[in-house]
Amino acid sequence: MNILGTEYKIKIRSDKEDSLLCNCDGYCDTTVKEITIREIDKEFDSVKDLKVFQDNVIRHEMIHAFFHESGLRDYELDETLVEFLAIQLPKLAKISEQITFCNNNRPDLKGDEVNEN
């Protein structure tokens, strides 16, 4: 996964393989550019949609990496801000797509800068 020009590996591991996953669902190690998420244990975990759960964890860890690669170290460690953005990111992406769609269908805006006021 490319985050602001830096490649991050995404690993899925069990908490038996990686003790850091005993107390969390995932973590981002910016020193080695890796995002590690905990493998779901179908017997013990309560989530039904495993793919959605893992995507949410990856998105959260990706935001940590995004702040790190932006040089925003205070924000990188702010779990409330990181989780807020991780939850809102899909909604922001949809809104952004709507803006692009609107502009592509407005010949009067083609080639011109959009006035945001």
Contacts with Zn ion by CB under 5 A lie at 79
Nearer to Zn ion, 31 or 100 (CB): 31
Supply the minimum distance, in Å, between the C-beta of residue 49 and Zn ion.
Answer: 21
Strand 9-13 versus strand 6-7 pairing type: unpaired
Angstrom distance (rounded) from CA 61 to CA 99: 27
Q: CB 117 → Zn ion: shortest distance, Å?
A: 36
Q: Please, which residue, 20 or 114, has the CB nearer to Zn ion?
A: 20
State the nearest-atom distance from the C-beta of 59 to Zn ion, in Å.
Answer: 11
- Of the two residues 24 and 99, which places its CB atom closer to Zn ion in the complex? 24
Residue corresponding to tokens 């590690």: 36
The three-state secondary structure class of 28 is strand
User: Residue 66, CB half-sphere, CA atoms under 13 Å: how many?
Assistant: 13
